[in-house]
Amino acid sequence: MKAGDADVYISTLASRNRALPNDIVAVMLEPKRNWRVFDSFIDEATMREIGDSNQKKKLRYVTLEQFLKIQPMGLEQLIGSCLAEEIAQDLDSPSDPIGSSSSEQDVQSHKAWWAIIQRTGHVVGILQSLHSRAFIGNLQIPSNFQTPKKVSPKGDQNNNQSEAIRTDPVLSNWKNAVLIPTDTRLPRVFIPREACPEGFLKNPETYKNVRFIGRITEWFDSNMFPKGELLRELSCDSSTLIQDETDRILVGAGFIWGVEAAFQFPDIVTESVRKSVDDVNAIREKDFIFRKDFRKYCVFTIDPSTARDLDDALHIRQLEPSEIEKLECSGYGNAFYEVGVHIADVSYFVKPDSPVDKEAASRATSIYLVQLCVPMLPRLLCEEQCSLNPGEDKLAFSVVFTVTEDAKILTTWFGRTFIRSCCKLSYEDAQEFIDHPDRDWSSNEFVKVDQPYTVMDICKNVLKLNDLATKMRKSRFHSGALRLDQVKSTFSLNNENGLPLGIAPYISKQSNWLIEEWMLAANKSIAERLAKYLPDSAFLRRHPPPSVKQLTEVSSSLNVAGININIDSAGSIQDSICREAGCDVEIGYHYSDALVKLCDDFMSNVLIHDGDLIEEMQKVDLNSVVQKEKLLLKTLEHEARLLVTVALLTKTMNLAVYFCLGLLPSELSPSHYALNMQLYTHFTSPIRRYADVIVHRQLSATLAKEESDPEKADWYLSTAFPKEMTPVELQQQAEVCNSKKLSARLAGEESAELFFVLFVKETGPFNEVCAVTSVLDRSFDVLILSCGLTKRVYLQNLNLKSYEFVPPKTAMGKVVESGKLCLLWNSDLLENFNIKGSDSADCIQNITVGSKTTLSSCGCFYMEIKVFDVVRCRVSVDSCSSIDDASQCGRQNTLLPKLLVTLLRSTCKECHVV
Report the CATH number at residue 235. Answer: 2.40.50.700
The residue among 683, 716, 750 that closes a domain is 750
Q: In terms of domains, do 276 and 256 share one?
A: no
Residue 618 lies in a domain: yes
Q: Kindly list the distances between the CA atom of residue 155 and the CA atoms of 151, 152, 364, 885, in Å, as whole numbers in the listed order.
A: 11, 8, 58, 18
The count of domains in the chain is 4
Beta bridge partners of 875: 766, 901
Domain final position from 750, 775, 805? 750
Phi/psi region, residue 779 (left: phi>0; alpha: psi -120 to 50; beta: rest), is beta
Does 293 lie in the same domain as 242? no
Residue 913 lies in a domain: no
Domain co-membership, 806 together with 717: no
Q: Look at residue 855 in the predicted model and tell me its pLDDT.
A: 46
DSSP 509: -
Domain end (from 215, 234, 263): 263
Do 254 and 341 sit in the same domain of this protein?
no
pLDDT lower than 70: segments of the chain: 1-6, 51-58, 99-109, 144-172, 237-239, 443-444, 604-629, 812-813, 828-859, 879-895, 907-914
The answer as to whether 3 is a domain residue is no
**Measured distance CA(396)–CA(349) in Å, rounded:** 11
Q: Give the domain CATH number at 579.
A: 2.40.50.140
Residue 239: count other Cβ atoms within 10 Å of its Cβ.
10
Residue 908 belongs to some domain of the structure = no
If asked whether residues 523 and 579 sit together in one domain, one would say: no
Residue 109 is assigned to a structural domain of this protein: yes
329 & 411 share domain = yes
Q: How far is CA 612 from CA 217, 348, 607, in A?
A: 55, 65, 12
Q: In this structure, what are the phi and psi dihedrals at residue 864, rounded to the nearest 5 degrees?
A: -115, 130
Asked if 524 and 508 count as a contact pair (C-beta separation under 8 A), the reply is no
Is 179 part of a structural domain of the chain?
A: yes
Question: Cα separation of 755 and 744, whole Å?
Answer: 17
Is the CB of residue 477 less than 8 Å from the CB of residue 586? yes
The Cα 234–Cα 136 span in angstroms is 9
Whether residues 457 and 593 share a domain: the answer is: no
- Residue-wise DSSP of 4-37: TT--EE--SHHHHTT--TT-EEEEEEPPGGGPEE
CA angle 798, 799, 801 (to 5 degrees): 115
Domain assignment present for 755 = no
| pLDDT for 372 | 94
What is the per-residue pLDDT for 142?
85
Residues 784 and 872 in one domain: yes
Q: Domain check: are 223 and 299 in the same one?
A: no
Does one domain contain both 390 and 417?
A: yes
CA distance 913 to 65: 61
Read off the pTM.
0.87
Query: What is the helix (H) or strand (E) element at residue 820, kind and residue range?
Result: strand 820-825
Residue 856 lies in a domain: yes
Domain of residue 22 covers 8-128
Same domain, 710 and 847: no
pLDDT given at position 301: 98
Q: Which of these, 466, 644, 676, 654, lies nearest to 575 by C-alpha position?
A: 676
Dist CA 189 CA 183 (whole Å): 12
Residues 852, 814 share a domain: yes
pLDDT number for residue 857:
54
